[in-house]
Each structure stands twice: as structure tokens, then as C-alpha cells.
Amino acid sequence: MSNDIFGFTFDAQIKFRMIKSDKKIIIAIDGYSSSGKSTLAKEIAKILNYKYIDSGAMYRAVTLFALRNNLINDSNHQVDEKKLQDLIKQIKIDFRNSTERNRQETYLNNENVEDEIREMNVSNNVSFISKIRFVREKMVSFQQEMGKEKGIVMDGRDIGTVVFPNAELKIFMNAKAQIRAERRYLELKEKNVDVSYEEILKNIEKRDYIDETRDTSPLKKAQDAIELNNSNINKQEQLDWIIGLVKERIN
């Protein structure tokens, strides 16, 4: 059977298209760094013809903005919050489809920053930006605006708990840190990013810790979220599983 660009078979898409429904829902996919949230979220959004929003890309874009404006101290990651609060009004983030690269890309003030926000310098600083309350408030209000009409799949850390507490379907994803680091390493290697497996593992473990222990909207499973540990589950099985859940919610 042929595979599409995400590595899922078309079979799942055909299966889903057989169920017609006008009811649009919100799907919140939260979980740990590199647990496969965005791969699953993109694919289910494509099948449902829903909007897909990568909320992590928004925090990464703010981080890139802060780095470019020298608002983060290199050695201790201290953020100049006062300056950032003054400048945050200047930040405009949006997502545009690239037909050429067959993907959605993140724009910061009309500049395509999709590749730059995935670099290690941004990954190493994003937790320090995403724990700032006024940054979260601004991003959450953007995200809620994008989901007003429903028909959206959003992935992140606080989507089911804070952004869309009434989402019809909430998934919480996890996998062993070593497995997540390995997946991320292969992904970055494919993009020719020069980084070691050890560096990625360290970054993932550090981000897990900061995400889970921050005061504002820490990473935690919403009470009504369904947990998916995909350490030993392939992409096709995950997709079939989520399609089953969406069918239940839509009908």
C-alpha cells in the first residue's frame, strides 16, 4: 500500500471519509516535547479538513523575537521581561500554507521563520519565554480566537487544560524520553541540523522539567483527556485509534 508524506496509509483517510458529518469539534492534543503530537495532529486535521495549529511554534516565534532583540541573557537565560512586555505588541504571528514544501509555515511579522524556530538556540531558550505569564496570556488569547469557529486541531501543553477546556476530544501524549530524543535526532539529521543525540536528550529532559513545574499553565493531563503512550505504537496505529475517537465524538 502506498504511503503519503506523513507515512500514514491512505486507507485511514478513506475509512474516515466514509463518515460524513457537519458537526465540527475541537481536538486538543497535549503532551511532552517530541512525543509525536504534531505528526498526529497534522494528519488528523488533514483527514477532517480542519485547521491545524502548532501552538509551540508560537512560543518559539516569541523566543526568536526575544533572541534577536537581545532580551535573553546568554549565560543564565534571564529574560528582560520589562522590555519584552513593551515590545510584545509588535509581535504578529501567523501560519501560511506552503504548497511548494507541502507544509504549514510560521511567520513572525510577515517573515517566514519556520526553519529558524526549530534550531537549538531557540529550543534551549523557549522554556524561559513560555513560562512568562503575559506571554502565555497573549498566546492563549490568539489561540482561542483561532478556535472560535471550531473545526480545529491544536497541539501544545495547555490546550486541553487552559486554551480549550471544553474541547470535545482531548489527547495527552507521552513516550520515553530516550525514544523522543531519538525521533527528534533523526528528524533534525534529515534536515542537516548539526546536533548530537545527547544534546537533544538533555534539552528534552530539561524542557520536560520546566514545562511540568512552571507556575503558569504547567504541562499536565486534563482530567478528561485520554492518554496515549506511543513508545511502542506506530503512526498508523495511532491514527486508526484517534479516528475511532473522533467518530465517537462527531456522531
Q: Across-strand partners of 31?
A: 173
Q: How far is CA 185 from the centre of its chain?
A: 17
* Sole window of 44-52, 106-114, 125-133, 236-244 interacting with ligand DC (rule: CB under 6 A): 125-133
**130 vs 230 by CB, closer to ligand DC:** 130
CA 221/CA 166 separation, integer angstroms: 14
Rounded to a whole number of angstroms, the minimum distance from the CB of residue 22 to ligand DC is 29
Total residues binding ligand DC (CB under 6 A): 14
Q: Which H or E run includes 45? A: helix 37-48
CA 159/CA 37 separation, integer angstroms: 12
* Burial tier of 115 (Cβ tally within 10 Å: 0-12, 13-18, 19+): exposed
Give the Å distances, CA to CA, from 137 to 63, 119, 140: 15, 25, 5
Which string of x and - marks every residue 38-57 that binds ligand DC (by CB under 6 A)? -----------------xx-
Q: How far is CA 71 from the centre of its chain?
A: 24
Q: Which of 45, 156, 172, 180 binds ligand DC (CB under 6 A)?
A: 156
Rounded to a whole number of angstroms, the minimum distance from the CB of residue 211 to ligand DC is 5
Q: Which of 130, 161, 174, 238 binds ligand DC (CB under 6 A)?
A: 130
Q: Which of 28, 125, 128, 157 binds ligand DC (CB under 6 A)?
A: 157
**12 vs 126 by CB, closer to ligand DC:** 126
**Under the rule (CB under 6 A), what is the footprint of ligand DC?**
33, 55-56, 59-60, 126-127, 130, 156-159, 207, 211
